[in-house]
Amino acid sequence: MKRAALYMRVSTLDQHPETQLLDLRQMAVQRGFEIVKEYTDRISGTKAKRPGLDQMMADARRGRFDVVLVWASDRIARSVKHFLEVLDEFSRLKIEYASFRENIDTGGPLGRAITIIIGAVAELERNLIVERVKAGMRRAKLEGRQIGRNRLELDPGAINIDRQRGQSIRQIARTHNISTATVQRVLRQQPVQNTRPPG
């Protein structure tokens, strides 16, 4: 019975790896694999440092499993170059690679060729998305539209008056929907004036 490692990656904290996990566990059962470890990363695919993947690669070098199961090829690598490096290392370590979504594995030369093509397509898709975002930002800038968060509107005079009335920094922050740090900065820039008439 082959020993299998499962690798899951989700891009944001809003996503859950459970969907991938269920599919991969079922895949392992169908192929008669024994699952020895499951690795998960909650991070963007473009990030270089991925603790789950790094740990899996370290365990692969120690010979702790015979096959790696992933939900999709774009889950495991941040670029085609990185994808090929991972596959080359698996090949050198005599570890098979299988992807659930594409229904392929590297058990033979055809599976390896398909995996490389899929990796190239996944990178192309990511690059196209990036280019579309950049083009949209350029268009918005040319049209004079705001890019990013709206500029914070402050009323230093009103903040000063609230402080003179004895409101705490926390109360002022809540009233003006700003942070306490912003309140403190405004007060430093515009010190509270004593408006009471001289006695």
Q: Which amino acids are annotated catalytic?
A: 11
Question: How far apart, in Å, are the Cα atoms of 115 and each of 16, 26, 107, 137?
Answer: 25, 21, 11, 33
Q: Read off the DSSP letter of residue 63.
A: T
Cα distance between residue 37 and residue 68, in whole Å? 10
Tokens of 99: 């992807």
What phi-psi label fits residue 70: left (phi over 0), alpha (psi between -120 and 50 degrees) or beta?
beta
The tokens of 6 are what?
A: 């499962």
Three state DSSP letters for 107-166: CCHHHHHHHHHHHHHHHHHHHHHHHHHHHHHHHHHHCCCCCCCCCCCCCHHHHHHHHHCC
